[in-house]
Structure 1
Amino acid sequence: MKPHYLTPLFSPRNVAVVGASDKPGSIGQAVFSNLLAGNFQGKLYPVNLNHKVVAGMPAVQSVRLIEGAVDLAVVTTALRALPGIVKDCGKKGVKAVLLAKEFSDSDQLEREILNESLSIARHYGIRVLGPNVLGLMRPVAGFNATNYSNRVRPGNLALVSQSSALCAAMLDWADGKSIGFSSVISVGEALDVDFGEILDFLVADNFTQGILLHVHHIHDARRFMSAMRAAARTKPVVVIKSGRFEDSVTGVTHSSNLVASGDVFDSALSRAGVLRVNTIAQLFTAAKVLAANYRVQGRRLAIVTNGIGPGVLAADSTYTYGVELAQLSPATIELLDEVLPRNWSHGNPLDIIGDASPARFRTAVKACLDDPGVDGVLVIFTPQSGTDHLTTAQLMVGLQREASKPLFLSWLGEAKVSESRELFSKAKCAHFSAPEFAIEVFRNLANYHHNQQLLLQTPGPLGGRQEPADAERARRVVNRALKEGRNVLSERESKEVLAAFKIPVNPTHLARNEDEAVQLAQKNGYPVVLKIDSPDIIYKSDVGGVELNIANEASLRQAFADIVGRARTLRPDAHIEGVSVQPMRKRRFARELMVGVTHDTSFGPVITFGAGGIAVEIMQDRALGLPPLNSYLVNSMIDKTRIGKILGAFKNLPPIDRQELEAVLLHVSEMVCEMPEIREMDINPLVADERGVIALDARIIVEKARPDRRNYRHMAIMPYPTRMVKNAKLTDGTDVIIRPVRPEDADMQQQFVRNLSEESRYNRYMSSIKQLSQTMLVRFTQLDYDREMALAMTRVDEAGKEEQLAVARFITDPDNESCEFALEVADRWQGRGIGFILMSALFDAARDQGLAVMRGEVLAGNKGMLKLMHKLGFKVEPHPEDRALTIVAKALADEAPQAAGN
């Protein structure tokens, strides 16, 4: 992979400081002094219009007068001079500019100057960080282009902050805790370089082992999510969010009214596999613990103590922090009964009595660690008569080294236990002055594990398992409404859209008068439900627009007149189509649910699930999910809600058909992926029981959208690219399918690698591996389709099982303009046109993503493939050092003439 295109900004070798000064208190003086004091090994060039010498170094009046090359220009001068400075930088060939200046967004003149400067920068291909930034630091390289005056230690954490003031506070806090940084990046307004690009750089940075983010707002949610997911796969990422009160979710449906932007942001972070915290202390504590490779597999905590009081208080804290007290297994209880005093607590928390010896502590803690129902152990030591704090601490350090589960140690007191705490610090054990701090960290680790599981979810297509949706039918309904100038679909229209996506709905028919209503009721059978039909009335019950359980004609005629009369009285402005007639669904064991869609300004469509019915806003019981969803994500949403607890067998209620409920949420996910026109939606109530689910009422809000369905630009996460699935035929007549790789292909991919010859495996993976590690398997099958692609060629063998014949993949460079690609073909399938067919499909996928440069050796000597690439508009860059592809390249060249004939 070539160097990141932001390397001149974040790791420069030659730096010019425009506005470098000797004037005390000026930004130019502070920045240039910090660069000199930091022992930066690159070249520094002061630029000053009025002085020939700055800090004892010769200065020039313009960047263009610098003799050597310049990677980065740090601008500290007045904003009015910025356009000229950027133009000089462009003519000099400078690749990056850091605006270490404040600017007022409310000042129209300053805004115009800044916009002009950014336009000039884009013309010359200059990337700009800022404005309103503290600056930029690389403590591991002695580079400090900031006006921050205190010490910053080198370390392995990267800090990225949108607020200069908060960034300074974090640095001061970290210094007091002896925490160091690989990079400190103040983003500011982020008018050009944004979080997504910065994260991409930090993912590839070998000095960075963990990433800390302070976020206030984001500009490009797709890039942000894609970069966050890429970072979280390899390095722990911890986020603190400000501005939660600034609600960017607005709308008219219940789904929108129940959702705040902070909730959506939390859901997005969870899906990205990162950890959200609320305070600066939590930010650094979580980062240190994660960087030390502490991990848990769940939220079940065992507490071992020699004081029942602290143990009970700690147990109370588990409830506060949402941590589960582990239920010890019968085998563990039996073991502890044999070795502990008779009056031990016989449960969790484990009170092993005040005079507990070091050996008794070790026995109890070891039993808990060995219990499969325990994910972590908190040990609380209270210094009492007969106890030995230091020996107990030494045994805990030894136990942690041999255990696969984490220990959290809290030695209560100060002077008496100080030696034990020093031991814990030297051994890098997780120790805390108070048990509640340990429980909070355990909770964060459990949340991180949960979010990492969400990160691994790459929803595949619904096709194959479900009847395909009729998206065109749904679009006709939506387009008709938009053509008529309407954004609100009627209940009938909304249900027609849902039905097109295979969501069960209660049949709804329009009656424009009483006679038509009677005819419909007689046709469908009594009892029926009448509802006012008006695109202008969202909440029908607010105008008395619903009558239930109508059993005969006389009641129907009266109800019809009453509904229309009330609606015209309370909403004289509303256009009334008539009254809809629906069968009255009586389900004895039904639960009323709600499924909705809302729209977030940054992250696009968001799916909500929770309790439905008339009390939906009072109960506030809902969970959020960013589409696309799969079964794991759907069930995770359901289980988060209170209503989810009574969907199984509950008292006299039989369990609902959970599979049908799951299918509805999956179809809603498919609907919002395929229809960017859908802005909001409510299905309320969605009735669920043992016989299935059915939407009794629904409302959809739409708006005109850009025709970008191919790349799903309305979504924060790229869905499975179903459009790339295609059939093909090999030169020997074998029917094959070419499709993007899915997570469930892991076993097939592993078998494919096992079947490769030793020579092929060595040439591809540069080692004599027999099979892929679990980490590599996840990496190859759980893809972010927005920045990478893997196309598998498969066939159905004689036993009806899918077999992988070959796979071609590319990984996009951070510049989103070029990529590296590779091809693997099973040894026994060589020479049948596979390489040409599969690479042609991969080139098409790369072109679809806007890539122009592809690097790899597959093209060596293959004139037909080179001709195809040039025809598609690609620039071909050879990759001579990539020995992994030479064998495949030769095989492809051999089969090219035969394949080209197809």
Structure 2
Amino acid sequence: MSIRNLDALFRPQSVALIGASNRPGSVGEVTARNLFRSGFPGLVMPVNPKYRSIAGVLAYPDIASLPETPDLAVICTPPDTVPDIIAELGARGTRAAVIVTAGFGEGGHEAGLARRQAVLDAARPHLMRIVGPNCLGIVVPPAGLNASFSHLMPGTGGLAFATQSGAIVTSVVDWAAARDIGFSHLVSLGDMIDVDFGDMLDYLARDPGTNAILLYVEAITSARKFMSAARAAARMKPVIVVKAGRHAEGAAAAASHTGALAGEDAVYDAVFRRAGLLRVYSLEDLFHAAGILATRQRPAGDRLAILSNGGGIAVLATDALIDEGGALAPLDTATRQRLDGVLPPTWPHGNPVDIIGDADGPRYAAALEALLESDSNDAVLVLNCPTGVTSSLEAAEAVIDTVTRMAPDKPVLTSWVGELTARAARTRFAASRMADFATPEEAVKAFMYLVEDRRARETLMETPPAQPGDIRPDRDGAATILSAAIREGREWLSEPEAKSVMDAYGIPVSPTAVARTPADAAARAEEFAVPVALKILSRDITHKSDVGGVALNLTGADAVAAAAQAMLDRVARHRPGARIDGFTVQPMIERPGAHELILGLKEDAQFGPVVLFGQGGVSVEVVADRAIGLPPLNMKLARELIGRTRVVHLLRGYRDRPAADLDGIAVSLIRIAQLAADHPQIVELDINPLLADATGVIALDARIRVADRAGSGLDRLAIRPYPAELETPVELAGIGPAILRPVRPEDEPAFHGAFARLAEEETQLRLFGPVAISGHAAAARFTQIDYDREMSLVLAEPGPAGKATLYGIVRMSADPDGERAEFTLIVQPDKAGAGVGTCLMTHLIACARSRGIGELFALVPAGNAAMLALAHDLGFHAERVADREGLTRVFLHLTQA
């Protein structure tokens, strides 16, 4: 399920309140009062056999006696009654219900869990959607619907708020009412047995009345659905999230460094970052973010100009800006000269622009106008502290008049510091819909929310560079090693086995020999003829250095044999029960000045595999310098992951130290992520250390933990990886050997090279649908896709993505429920008639059918005879579009074809 029947939930024509009451203060009484008084234009039908009427409105004794089938039912009855109520409503045709009642498995109670399942079983046959249980209800101000027991009815506006906590809803409503901020939707999701955050994001992203989405999250369900919905929503409008329960006390200790470092909240942080969501850490921050986003201002960059009548508060704002990662805008010469003409000679001639403590309204207006007309800043923060010689209210009026008159395309934020004197000014700013904050620090943080939102959405649309090289992993070789360990009942691969898996995926590893005895270890060392590292080999010991199982820089057979025997003695004392399989011997890698890094993989219970990168070595947990990302990765994402650590500053080089091979590190991270996608048997992985310097990277030690799992394991990934199984070699007359494959984000340069030169009339003729294809944003729609919901197939010459020529591309975008998918086809002009379109469409139809999509359709210019003929040949039906002159809708029912 996704958005199916959510229209009945949020735009019902009729509502039944089951458990309505006249008892003052009861949930049934408050909810009834809210439904009657919220301005809902439809029919409200209270149901309770105890009452003839509810608040003067005729009540009905049961569902059977209702005069019509309600679109939406709100249920406030005892928990044991709810499953039968859902069954009766569903049989009658009700499409959505809000269950306010608690008692459905909170805390893991067995009886409640049984009720929960009974509700789902009753709703499922009727495709009935459920919000709750254990929730406050829903409020849709534009529809006049208040199906909740909230204490206030909020006004109408562009913010939507979805939360797992009903108490948070009432707090937000109270806060917003004091600031005259309105909402499009407020939804208390409660226990989320059906409708969850993914559903809400899908629905709200498409709602024209919603400008920004706020989320209060305690836990995410259906990780894949959430990620797909969140990434799609964040491309269209700001999404702000506050996550409760950031510290997982009492979490089980992990066996690897990665497990110890990749905590639950760090994973959520990676999830929100990858989805393009703006994360805040408190309700106060959520309020501030909501307030600034309600203004719909969007800065072009992070350069802030600060205008103030006091130097002290301007310095505080500057400090806050730098702390938050913003930039103090420079003053260009023209702006400085203009300010010289309107400010006293004593102004400091820089940013912050201190207009001196006796600044009146006209001085504020003149200085603000100069800054708004300057191209050297992206936003202006106007500050005021009260003085005895000027009026704070007059200054506020001047700022409001200037902004109203100039209507700048850059944000203007204000902070009138103080309380008593500033109160009137804040009232005026609120009435004028201007963003005002109590302190300069709050204002700066709000500005940075705008900046971070812009950055997040730009990151979602960035085109990644192509990977250097074209290494094809040996999947079968790695799978053989993993399967052998599982058959033998081993949880951990040996170091040589783990390194062999790394080698199969193109990650450079140090050569390693296995020795069974001290004498054997001495012989292996002689073969290397250089100083060696000796390590204990045991399936029971994962951290060898903790038990004295590592010896370095050993020279000569005698030294190796003696060290091996001493190692056996130490390990026997520290881990007397450990099984010893022997030793590993490897040459010492002499890379003076190389950085020790850690690369890892861990299975998260909710989001599946996550990739870790950070500073490595024996002190890795103490240093705790790490960042986490979700697979799959590309070069852009891998470089961004590296850039979120402190060690990156060393890796970029300093003084006489050259930069490390950042591309080599990034490719290694991509290979680790690919291992996660290809081999579900891998549940934990460490490479520690990975040495990195200017000459490249090499893994000195590796460990892999495995578990017996059947199937592909793709469902455990929060983001569907590149579907390599769809790659198909083809050969067409006039083209020769080619490959049909899913598109990659790296294909964008080739996309522009093949199609961006199409003239407008050619575009209309060669597209199924009048779609613009020039520019980065348009190309990204074809090349940066969610493989779980969309598909773009390309026919290309063999070669790496981004460099191989594209002959044609077809894109399919399905609705969230998978009922219908719209497609667009583009063929390179000089390849028309070569069978490119037929080849692409044939494979797209097969792909759509395999995904269970019911209908494939497109809008075709009526004069495009060639395209209509192709559609006809492929079995599509055609019909004129009544309200779109000149367009024909072609469609294919896949379930019937």
TM-score after normalising by structure 1: 0.88
* Cα distance change on mapping 1:115 and 1:525 into 2, 3 Å: same
Matched residues, number:
876
Q: Is 1:467 matched up with 2:471?
A: yes
**In the alignment, which of 807, 810, 814 is matched to residue 808 of structure 1?**
810
Quote the Cα distance in structure 2 between the aligned partners of 1:214 and 1:508.
50
Any residues of structure 2 matched to 1:536-575 within 5 Å, and which? 536-575=540-579
Q: Counterpart of 2:744 in structure 1: which amino acid?
A: R
Residue 898 of structure 1 corresponds to none
Residue 27 of structure 1 corresponds to 27
**In the alignment, which of 635, 640, 649 is matched to residue 639 of structure 2?**
635
SS of 1:101's partner is coil
Residue 863 of structure 2 corresponds to none
Residue 704 of structure 1 corresponds to 708
**In the alignment, which of 789, 797, 819 is matched to residue 791 of structure 2?**
789
Residue 316 of structure 1 corresponds to 319
Deviation of 1:311 after TM superposition, in Å, equals 2.5
Deviation of 1:47 after TM superposition, in Å, equals 2.9
**In the alignment, which of 296, 305, 310 is matched to residue 308 of structure 2?**
305
Residue 141 of structure 1 corresponds to 143
Residue 837 of structure 1 corresponds to 839
Any residues of structure 2 matched to 1:736-885 within 5 Å, and which? 736-749=738-751, 752=755, 754-756=757-759, 758=761, 760-761=763-764, 772=774, 775-794=777-796, 803-825=805-827, 829-856=831-858, 880=881
SS of 2:194's partner is coil
Q: Is the 8 A contact 2:859 2:888 kept in 1?
A: no
**In the alignment, which of 651, 675, 692 is matched to residue 647 of structure 1?**
651
Deviation of 1:181 after TM superposition, in Å, equals 1.4
Residue 581 of structure 2 corresponds to 577
More off after superposition, 748-757 vs 166-175: 748-757
Any residues of structure 2 matched to 1:666-677 within 5 Å, and which? 666-677=670-681
Quote the Cα distance in structure 1 between the aligned partners of 2:446 and 2:740.
46
* Cα distance change on mapping 1:607 and 1:211 into 2, 3 Å: same
SS of 2:716's partner is coil
Q: Counterpart of 1:163 in structure 2: which amino acid?
A: S
Residue 864 of structure 2 corresponds to none
Quote the Cα distance in structure 1 between the aligned partners of 2:137 and 2:339.
61
Quote the Cα distance in structure 1 between the aligned partners of 2:34 and 2:306.
49
Q: Counterpart of 2:505 in structure 1: which amino acid?
A: F
* Cα distance change on mapping 1:368 and 1:54 into 2, 3 Å: closer
SS of 1:73's partner is strand
Q: Is 1:517 matched up with 2:509?
A: no
Residue 9 of structure 2 corresponds to 9
Deviation of 1:773 after TM superposition, in Å, equals 5.8
Q: Is 1:502 matched up with 2:506?
A: yes
Residue 281 of structure 1 corresponds to 284
Q: Counterpart of 1:579 in structure 2: which amino acid?
A: F
What whole-Å deviation, never above 9, does each CA across 1:413-462 have from its counterpart, x for those lacking one?
Answer: 55666665555445533332321111111232233233223322576985
**In the alignment, which of 449, 453, 456 is matched to residue 448 of structure 1?**
453
**In the alignment, which of 294, 297, 311 is matched to residue 297 of structure 2?**
294
More off after superposition, 295-304 vs 155-164: 295-304
Deviation of 1:495 after TM superposition, in Å, equals 1.1
Deviation of 1:195 after TM superposition, in Å, equals 1.1
Deviation of 1:132 after TM superposition, in Å, equals 0.4
Q: Is 1:681 matched up with 2:685?
A: yes
Quote the Cα distance in structure 2 between the aligned partners of 1:214 and 1:886.
44
Q: Counterpart of 2:451 in structure 1: which amino acid?
A: A
* Cα distance change on mapping 1:670 and 1:435 into 2, 3 Å: same
Quote the Cα distance in structure 1 between the aligned partners of 2:510 and 2:474.
18
Q: Is the 8 A contact 2:773 2:779 kept in 1?
A: no
* Cα distance change on mapping 1:432 and 1:812 into 2, 3 Å: same
What whole-Å deviation, never above 9, does each CA across 1:792-847 have from its counterpart, x for those lacking one?
Answer: 334599xx975544332222212134323333445664444333321111122223
Residue 97 of structure 2 corresponds to 97
Q: Is the 8 A contact 2:628 2:641 kept in 1?
A: yes
What whole-Å deviation, never above 9, does each CA across 1:840-892 have from its counterpart, x for those lacking one?
Answer: 1112222343323334467977798666x9xxxxxx897855969957969x9
Any residues of structure 2 matched to 1:125-524 within 5 Å, and which? 125-246=127-248, 251-319=254-322, 321-326=323-328, 328=330, 345=348, 348-351=351-354, 353-354=356-357, 374-382=377-385, 390=394, 394=398, 398=402, 401=406, 403-413=408-418, 421=426, 424-457=429-462, 465-524=469-528
Residue 726 of structure 1 corresponds to 728
SS of 1:465's partner is coil
Deviation of 1:221 after TM superposition, in Å, equals 0.8
Deviation of 1:239 after TM superposition, in Å, equals 0.8
Q: Is the 8 A contact 2:104 2:133 kept in 1?
A: no
Q: Counterpart of 2:488 in structure 1: which amino acid?
A: E
Q: Is the 8 A contact 1:680 1:702 kept in 2?
A: yes
Residue 696 of structure 2 corresponds to 692
What whole-Å deviation, never above 9, does each CA across 1:230-251 have from its counterpart, x for those lacking one?
Answer: 1111111111111112367862
* Cα distance change on mapping 1:393 and 1:544 into 2, 3 Å: farther
Quote the Cα distance in structure 2 between the aligned partners of 1:335 and 1:57.
71
**In the alignment, which of 715, 718, 726 is matched to residue 716 of structure 1?**
718
Quote the Cα distance in structure 2 between the aligned partners of 1:674 and 1:368.
55
* Cα distance change on mapping 1:778 and 1:355 into 2, 3 Å: farther
SS of 1:755's partner is coil
* Cα distance change on mapping 1:25 and 1:648 into 2, 3 Å: closer
What whole-Å deviation, never above 9, does each CA across 1:456-478 have from its counterpart, x for those lacking one?
Answer: 2576985x832111121111111
Residue 663 of structure 2 corresponds to 659
Q: Counterpart of 2:279 in structure 1: which amino acid?
A: R
Q: Is the 8 A contact 2:466 2:746 kept in 1?
A: no
* Cα distance change on mapping 1:828 and 1:280 into 2, 3 Å: same
Q: Is the 8 A contact 1:765 1:884 kept in 2?
A: no
Quote the Cα distance in structure 2 between the aligned partners of 1:146 and 1:529.
68
Deviation of 1:513 after TM superposition, in Å, equals 0.9
Quote the Cα distance in structure 2 between the aligned partners of 1:550 and 1:332.
69
What whole-Å deviation, never above 9, does each CA across 1:349-400 have from its counterpart, x for those lacking one?
Answer: 4545545677876787677778877554433344558768646863686469
Quote the Cα distance in structure 2 between the aligned partners of 1:419 and 1:60.
51
- Over aligned residues, Cα RMSD in angstroms? 3.5
Q: Counterpart of 1:486 in structure 2: which amino acid?
A: R
Deviation of 1:330 after TM superposition, in Å, equals 8.3
Q: Is 1:82 matched up with 2:86?
A: no
More off after superposition, 44-53 vs 447-456: 44-53
Quote the Cα distance in structure 2 between the aligned partners of 1:332 and 1:49.
77
Q: Kindly, what percent of the aligned residue pairs are identical?
A: 37
* Cα distance change on mapping 1:413 and 1:506 into 2, 3 Å: same
Quote the Cα distance in structure 2 between the aligned partners of 1:422 and 1:762.
57
Q: Counterpart of 1:758 in structure 2: which amino acid?
A: E
Q: Is the 8 A contact 1:214 1:241 kept in 2?
A: yes
Q: Counterpart of 2:18 in structure 1: which amino acid?
A: V
Q: Is 1:609 matched up with 2:617?
A: no
Quote the Cα distance in structure 2 between the aligned partners of 1:592 and 1:883.
62
Deviation of 1:647 after TM superposition, in Å, equals 1.4
Deviation of 1:730 after TM superposition, in Å, equals 3.5
* Cα distance change on mapping 1:615 and 1:39 into 2, 3 Å: same
TM-score after normalising by structure 2: 0.89
* Cα distance change on mapping 1:6 and 1:738 into 2, 3 Å: same
What whole-Å deviation, never above 9, does each CA across 1:706-750 have from its counterpart, x for those lacking one?
Answer: 4135xx222111222233233333455554443333334445545
Q: Is the 8 A contact 2:160 2:212 kept in 1?
A: yes
What whole-Å deviation, never above 9, does each CA across 1:507-540 have from its counterpart, x for those lacking one?
Answer: 1211001222122111112200001111211111
